Amino acid sequence: MPVLIRIAFRNLLEHKSKTLIIGILLALGVIILIVGNSFMDTAERGVKDTFIANYTGDVFISGTSPNGKVSLFGVQAAGGQETTPILPYLDKLDAKLATMPQVAGSAGQVTGFGLVTLKDSQDQSFALLFGVEPTEYRRLFDGAKLAEGTFLLPGQDGLVVSKKTLERFSKDLEKTIKVGDTVILTGMGKAGFKIRQVPIVGVVEYPTESEATDFISYVDINTLRILSGMTLGNDEDVVVTEEVKALLATSDEDAMFGGEEVITSSSAAPKPAPKTVTKVVHKAAVADTGAWQFKVLRTHSPAQAAGVIAELNAWFAAEGIDARASDWKAAAGPFSQSIDVVRIVFNIAIIIVAIVAIIIMMNTLVISVIERTGEIGTMRALGASKGFVRKMFLIETIAIALVFGFVGTLLGMGVVGILNALHIQATNAFLNILFAGKVLHTSVSAISVVSSLILVMGVAVVAHLYPVALALKIEPVRAMQTE
């Protein structure tokens, strides 16, 4: 082996141009991988940290829907709006969670969408609403910091919004909206249109802003239950006449259905007594206080989340409960999927680049092998086996990959450092997701470096196979004659 290593490095130094061509390709590949993966890892970590810390917790529990996956933002159906299922058997679920020492806490939630308007105004603004019980929810998620007003209090009707949301409301409604103002929320869904008036009680801000923090607003749970149609009773006015009230009160079948038919002349018919009308007004719809769409859990350690999810799903199956536990990615729904789509596109681009690199490297190695045909023939004539020649080229290829791979790693880390130093601002929603915030700040992980080196080494090894196989087909005597 030491002989092979010395021969390999000697050959690399003797064929500097070919070595540089292959090495530069490998180094560029490593730079692309490290910089690209740093963006992907930063985006995923940013979305993960934002959602776990502020919205989804470590474990997400929901009902199941035959029409699509259920996330914190409802049912992800292919077409149309689907009703988000109510989480069944909450009492049994709460009892089960109380027996699980890994669970640090849990909170219920309802998600809804609505339009925000002002009295005597036709202007509207969209609202993504999280209905929560403030005490439990704040105990689990304390990342939002109060900028103005107050947080929701138990039993209080109100709306808490982010700074960006308040600015958007003011722009859409063409009026400066501030804490203390009352807005009209119109719920939209299969339950029809429901309208509620609530005051804006507080404005919050987050340490790390994202698309989610810009749109999500918190509303008291009973208001959102009514807007979403999760109610007991109704809020319609009912008109009941005295005759109907008497009919409902009687137990005489003849009175109810007419008894004997009596015919009298029209002239003898008595004048009907004037009908009095009693108007019965029902109270406003009462929210179903036991209804929740989701439960979000925090575990004592993030590493415990997978075990909790597995245990809960096994328990749901054994109890016949139509519910499912999942991780933050399932809960984040479209927000986590956007990262997956970007990573898929990046991986496809890397595959295309790798194929091009293999072709270029293969052609370069073929030329190198042809130039060394005489050398290979002499080695074969002196007793070198085909295996020896294969190992020699393999060591050369691995040496190039390692040397230029480390060079590419250093350059890639340098590029990441320069990008961070520039403090590049996110100018659109896509960059906001990719940067995991408003300003680019990426980092290089050890896993990314190791995986990049392994990948470029694999590309180099694949690229050298065909040229070596081509060289070994040449007869030794004939190869020596080409010198």
Question: What average pLDDT does range 315-340 have in this prediction?
Answer: 88
- What helix, strand, coil percent values describe the chain, rounded to 5? 50, 20, 30
Across the chain, what does the average pLDDT equal? 80
Across 107-116, 189-198, 256-265, 333-342, least confident range = 256-265
* Residues 6 or more apart whose Cβ sits within 8 Å of residue 226: 187, 194, 196, 284, 285, 287
Residues in the chain: 483
Residue type, 135: T
For 468-480, how does the pLDDT look when each residue is reduced to its tens digit (9 = 90+)?
887 777 676 665 5
Question: What average pLDDT does range 87-108 have in this prediction?
Answer: 93
Question: What average pLDDT does range 398-424 have in this prediction?
Answer: 89
**So what's the pLDDT on residue 389?**
79
Across 210-224, 273-287, 302-316, 439-453, least confident range = 273-287
Question: What average pLDDT does range 444-458 have in this prediction?
Answer: 86
The model's confidence at residue 73, banded by pLDDT at 50, 70 and 90, is: confident
Neighbouring CB atoms inside 10 A of 476's CB total 16
Question: What average pLDDT does range 444-466 have in this prediction?
Answer: 86
**So what's the pLDDT on residue 180?**
92
Higher pLDDT, residue 223 or 264? 223
State yes or no: pLDDT of 281 exceeds 60. no
* Residues 6 or more apart whose Cβ sits within 8 Å of residue 405: 26, 27, 30, 452, 453, 456, 457
The model's confidence at residue 257, banded by pLDDT at 50, 70 and 90, is: very low
Across 22-31, 197-206, 252-261, least confident range = 252-261
State yes or no: pLDDT of 267 exceeds 50. no
* Residues 6 or more apart whose Cβ sits within 8 Å of residue 150: 201, 202
Question: What average pLDDT does range 192-200 have in this prediction?
Answer: 87
For 135-158, how does the pLDDT look when each residue is reduced to its tens digit (9 = 90+)?
989 999 888 889 999 999 998 999
Higher pLDDT, residue 213 or 168? 168
**So what's the pLDDT on residue 395?**
83
Across 8-12, 240-244, 298-302, least confident range = 240-244
Pairing outcome for strands 68-71 and 323-326: unpaired
> Tokens 């969408």 map to which residue?
113
The model's confidence at residue 94, banded by pLDDT at 50, 70 and 90, is: very high
**So what's the pLDDT on residue 350?**
82
**So what's the pLDDT on residue 276?**
46
The model's confidence at residue 354, banded by pLDDT at 50, 70 and 90, is: confident
**So what's the pLDDT on residue 269?**
47
Rounded Cα distance between 315 and 103, Å, is 15
Neighbouring CB atoms inside 10 A of 167's CB total 14
Cross-strand partners of 110: 131
The model's confidence at residue 381, banded by pLDDT at 50, 70 and 90, is: confident
Q: Is the pTM of this model over 0.75?
A: no
User: How much of the chain, in percent, has pLDDT values that exceed 70?
Assistant: 78
Neighbouring CB atoms inside 10 A of 17's CB total 10
Question: What average pLDDT does range 455-470 have in this prediction?
Answer: 84
User: How much of the chain, in percent, has pLDDT values that exceed 90?
Assistant: 28
Going from N- to C-terminal start, the domains of the chain cover 2-50+337-481, 59-230+291-326
Across 57-66, 316-325, 369-378, 404-413, least confident range = 369-378
Across 59-68, 412-421, 423-432, least confident range = 423-432
Question: What average pLDDT does range 9-27 have in this prediction?
Answer: 77
**So what's the pLDDT on residue 260?**
46
Question: What average pLDDT does range 289-307 have in this prediction?
Answer: 90
**So what's the pLDDT on residue 252?**
53
